Amino acid sequence: MEPEESMVNAAKAAQILIEAHLGNQLLDDIPDDCKPASPEDALAVQEVMLGHSDITYAGWKVARTNEELQREAGLTEPAYGPIFSEFIHENGHHFAGGAPSIRAIECEFAVILAKDLPASGAPYTVDQAADAVGTMHPAVEVTGQRFKSRNDLGRPATTMDFAGNFAFVFGDGITDWQTFDLPNHGVEHIIDGEVIATSTGANVLGNPLNSVSWLANKLATRGLELKAGDWISTGAATGPIPVAAGVGVAAAFGDLGRAHCKLPNN
């Protein structure tokens, strides 16, 4: 069966969302021809963003990586979307200025690939995907949205809207991540020095590496592929947990390291 054809004005929608993201703006609404009516519409906007001159492709995020989060969204599998260099920050980043579009915080296992995972090689096993991983990093994903009432636009709007990403902050990478028991590896979600949630890598599709293989195989169905140097933020080990303006946030992964940032005062 042929994929459903997208009916959204993908180029126009992508431009509006990119400008809103770069400018930390919340949109009251978007033109009717930019409103996604289907997953295909949302993916069409993502694909325009991948080659857009105003932002630089850096990799992908995976979201809704456990059954509870999938049920909340009416999904039966994870969601995903591209991430861009302009919204990726080194450890300790202080976000300047207001950011009304920030919504919540997630603690995530992130990786940088050392090898390509071409679409022609799919389907990939978890072991094959893991073999492509170079470094593993502790990370904080700051989630957000560009619409004041995104839920009114339906689930495809979240996919179109950077898959809910505001920013991504990463800690130092390690190369001996293979020595860790990732499904049982503990994670602490810390706000202003207080541990407010704990979890393990099992909350990410049972193992963060499952997220890598799932993403590679999903992208292959669209003719897209992962390249050496790409980031993958594998999904929420903790969160999403709503967060107040101006707080300090940390994701503590024990011997895997720690990522932290300071949120802006809105």
The pLDDT assigned to 5 comes to: 59
* Residue 11 φ then ψ, to 5°: -65, -40
pLDDT of residue 1 exceeding 60, the answer is: no
pLDDT of residue 2 exceeding 70, the answer is: no
Where do the domains of the chain lie, and which CATH numbers do they carry? Answer: 10-262 (3.90.850.10)
Of residues 4 and 112, the one with the higher pLDDT is 112
| This prediction's pTM | 0.93
What's the whole-number mean pLDDT along residues 4-19? Answer: 88
pLDDT of residue 217 exceeding 70, the answer is: yes
Contacts of 8 (CB under 8 A, 6+ apart): 33, 34, 35, 36, 37, 41, 42, 44, 45
Q: How confident is the model at residue 3 (pLDDT cuts 50, 70, 90)?
A: very low
Lowest mean pLDDT, pick from 88-97, 107-116, 189-198, 252-261:
88-97
The pLDDT assigned to 68 comes to: 85
pLDDT tens-digit readout, 187-201: 999 999 999 999 999
Mean pLDDT of the chain: 93
Closest Cα to residue 164, out of 79, 39, 76, 249? 79
pLDDT tens-digit readout, 225-239: 999 999 999 999 998
